[in-house]
Amino acid sequence: MPLVLLDLDGTLLDSAPGITASVRAAYRAVGLPVPPDDVLRSFVGPPIWDSLRAHGVPADRVEEVVHAYRTAFADIGMYDATVFDGIPDVLRELRAAGLTLVVATAKPEVFARPICDRLGLADLVDGVFGAPLDETSTKADVIARALDSLADRPEAAVTLMVGDREHDVHGAAEHGVACVGVTWGYAAPGELEAAGAVAVVDSPAALRDEVLRRLVPTHHDEVASRA
Query: Helices (DSSP H) in 78-189: which residue ranges?
Result: 87-96, 109-118, 139-149, 166-173
Q: Does the active-site annotation cover 7?
A: yes
Q: What is the dihedral of CA 166, 43, 68, 49, to 10 degrees?
A: 30
Q: Which of 7, 9, 164, 168 is catalytic?
A: 7
For 227, counting Cβ atoms within 10 Å of its Cβ (0-12 exposed, 13-18 middle, 19+ buried), the class is exposed
Provide the edge-to-edge strand list for the sheet that holds 128-131: 128-131, 100-108, 3-6, 159-163, 178-182, 199-201
Mind telling me the catalytic residues?
A: 7
